[in-house]
């Protein structure tokens, strides 16, 4: 039967009505779930749609129809717990109420709240798909802030050159520090392991404690699961290209893992710094460096080898005013308190660190021992850009933190001592000059702010905290310690 022109027209109009109905009903959800992860690649941050907020919490797509005011993409370590906690506190400080998390797709969440005088909720989008996506999404324009548990690579910096210098102080911000404790039972006589030994234990290359000088017996490995930010850190700092032994017992919970290791004389595991519990945290060293036990102090100074920086990256010329406001909050003392509360290590010097500085090694330069006698070391170390005596971005901000600490009643009138160190490249005399120049550079920064250090002395390549065989290790060894007397 042949359809008339009128029949065709009626069918066309019916189909058009069905499409319009679908768009009206499902359009916002489809928009949220399409495109780049949250589907916001073409949405200008800070704008809002005309829709209303859903009361459900099953998914981000079913939540607010408002476009995100701010988009944080990248590291799973930062994005799982820390970023949502920071955003909640940040929105609270902006005056928002009814703040809540709206889960989305895997490793995605929206944090929303209502600001006074605004009919639409303010939405902050968090997508935690790995540090590499921080740089990819910044380049694509689908993120306002990149979260990364490693520093930007040279090729990534080149790709993002259109946004500005991504290693400048305006673009690169150290949000906090992360540390992983390697734990054994207190019945295990071992006190210290090298980074290579830890890698061999967890990869299964060393399967008997007798090979490390302990009582003979099989090694039982305890590990966090693959979705854990702690595992992400451990893999990055320890395993690297090696695979975790298939015999490892996997855990979702730090506390349970630590408790089981504490009860197993043949067990070894790793946990976040705050979850050592009744287990024993081992000292860790690398290729001749001084071994340090993990504490808030040694992670904050980055002397402990299994510590790393957590970064936020932004375009220096971002047109979104929420970017600067959020970064400023995250780096403030209040924001750093959130970093501490979530289980990472913040950088504020206003609150005292419970753990004392580690005891000095038995062999130290005589002049260093003399100058530090009756002095107190601060949980702060200044480090430098590669191949220069220019302070890195974290250290430039730490100058302000140190000045704020010195202004506190407990520190007024105390004298500042600065001790510089170098890597082992070059002659001992050259290294002593270089380390002295670094201490002098920090002293110059403080003098420009009205603080005149009593001492600024270099000790060459003494007391390495990392291997001098790698660029990363050499960078850690080029440092300046701060003591008060």
Per-residue pLDDT of the chain (485 residues; tens, 9 = 90+): 455 554 554 555 545 554 444 433 334 333 333 344 454 444 444 433 333 333 333 334 344 468 999 999 999 889 999 999 999 999 999 999 999 999 999 999 999 999 999 999 999 999 999 999 999 999 999 999 999 999 999 999 999 999 999 999 999 999 999 999 999 999 999 999 999 999 999 999 999 999 998 899 999 999 999 878 789 889 989 999 999 999 999 998 889 999 999 999 999 999 988 899 999 999 999 988 999 999 999 999 999 999 999 999 999 999 999 999 999 999 999 999 999 999 999 999 987 776 778 888 888 999 999 999 999 999 999 999 877 778 999 999 999 999 999 999 989 899 999 999 999 998 999 999 999 999 999 999 999 999 999 999 999 999 999 999 988 899 999 999 999 99
Q: pLDDT at position 206, please?
A: 98
Per-residue confidence (pLDDT) for residue 230, from 0 to 100: 87
Q: Tell me, what's the pLDDT at 61?
A: 38
Q: What is the pLDDT of residue 7?
A: 54
Q: What is the pLDDT of residue 70?
A: 98
- 289-295, long-range: CB within 8 Å, 24+ apart, which pairs? 289/464, 289/465, 289/466, 289/467, 289/473, 290/361, 290/463, 290/464, 290/465, 291/192, 292/358, 292/465, 293/358, 294/179, 294/180, 294/181, 294/182, 295/355, 295/358
d(C-alpha 314, C-alpha 144), whole Å: 6
Distances (CA, A) of 435 to 38, 168, 368, 429, 482: 48, 24, 13, 10, 14
**Residue in the structure block whose two tokens are 């930010």:** 229
Plot region of 250 (φ>0 → left; ψ -120 to 50 → alpha; else → beta) = beta
255-264 contacts: CB < 8 A, separation 24 or more? 257/222, 257/223, 257/224, 258/183, 260/222, 261/183, 261/184, 261/185, 261/222, 262/183, 262/185, 262/186, 263/185, 264/185, 264/220, 264/222
Structural contact between residues 307 and 178, judged by C-beta atoms closer than 8 angstroms? yes
User: SS3 letters for 383-441?
Assistant: EECCCCCCECHHHHHHHHHHHHHHCCHHHCCCCEEEEEECCCCCCHHHHHHHHHHHHHH
Specify the residue for token string 């310690």: 481
Whether 348 and 400 have beta carbons less than 8 Å apart is answered as no
């Amino acid at each position: 039967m042949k359809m008339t022109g009128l029949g065709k027209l009626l069918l066309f109009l019916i189909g058009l009505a069905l499409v319009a109905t679908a768009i009206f009903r499902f359009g916002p959800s489809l928009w949220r779930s399409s495109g780049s992860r949250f589907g916001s690649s073409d949405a200008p941050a800070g704008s809002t749609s005309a829709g209303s907020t859903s009361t459900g919490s099953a998914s981000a797509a079913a939540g607010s129809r408002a476009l995100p005011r701010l988009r944080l993409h990248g590291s799973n370590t930062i994005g799982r717990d820390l970023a949502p906690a920071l955003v909640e506190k940040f929105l609270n400080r902006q005056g928002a109420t009814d703040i809540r998390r709206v889960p989305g797709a895997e490793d995605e969440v929206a944090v929303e709240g209502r600001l006074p005088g605004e009919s639409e909720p303010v939405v902050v989008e968090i997508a935690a798909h790995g540090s590499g996506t921080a740089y990819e999404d910044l380049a694509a324009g689908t993120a306002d802030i990149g979260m990364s548990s490693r520093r930007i690579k040279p090729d990534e910096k080149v790709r993002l050159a259109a946004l500005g210098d991504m290693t400048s102080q305006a673009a690169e911000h150290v949000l906090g520090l992360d540390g992983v404790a390697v734990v054994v039972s207190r019945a295990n006589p071992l006190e210290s392991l090298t980074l290579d030994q830890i890698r061999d234990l967890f990869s299964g290359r060393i399967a008997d404690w007798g090979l490390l000088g302990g009582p003979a017996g099989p090694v039982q490995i305890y590990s966090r699961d693959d979705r854990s930010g702690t595992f992400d850190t451990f893999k990055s700092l320890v395993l690297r290209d090696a695979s975790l032994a298939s015999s490892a017992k996997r855990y979702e919970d730090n506390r349970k893992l630590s408790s089981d290791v504490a009860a197993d004389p043949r067990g070894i595991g790793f946990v976040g710094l705050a979850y050592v519990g009744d287990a024993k945290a081992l000292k860790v060293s690398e290729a001749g460096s001084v071994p340090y036990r993990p504490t808030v102090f040694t992670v904050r100074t980055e002397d402990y080898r299994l510590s790393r920086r957590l970064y936020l990256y932004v375009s220096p010329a971002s047109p979104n005013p929420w970017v600067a406001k959020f970064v400023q909050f995250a780096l403030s003392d209040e924001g750093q308190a959130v970093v501490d509360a979530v289980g990472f290590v913040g950088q504020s010097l206003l609150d005292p660190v419970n753990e004392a500085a580690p005891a000095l090694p038995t062999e130290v330069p005589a002049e260093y021992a003399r100058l530090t006698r009756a002095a107190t070391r601060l949980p702060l170390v200044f480090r430098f850009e590669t191949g220069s005596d220019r302070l890195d971005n974290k250290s430039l901000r730490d100058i302000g933190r140190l000045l704020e600490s010195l202004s506190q009643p407990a520190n007024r009138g105390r004298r500042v001592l600065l001790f510089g160190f170098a890597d082992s490249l070059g002659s001992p005399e050259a290294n002593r000059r270089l380390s002295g120049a670094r201490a002098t550079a920090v002293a110059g920064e403080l003098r420009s702010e009205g603080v005149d250090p009593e001492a600024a002395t270099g000790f060459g390549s003494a007391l390495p905290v990392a291997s001098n065989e790698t660029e990363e290790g050499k960078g850690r060894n080029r440092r300046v310690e701060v003591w008060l007397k």
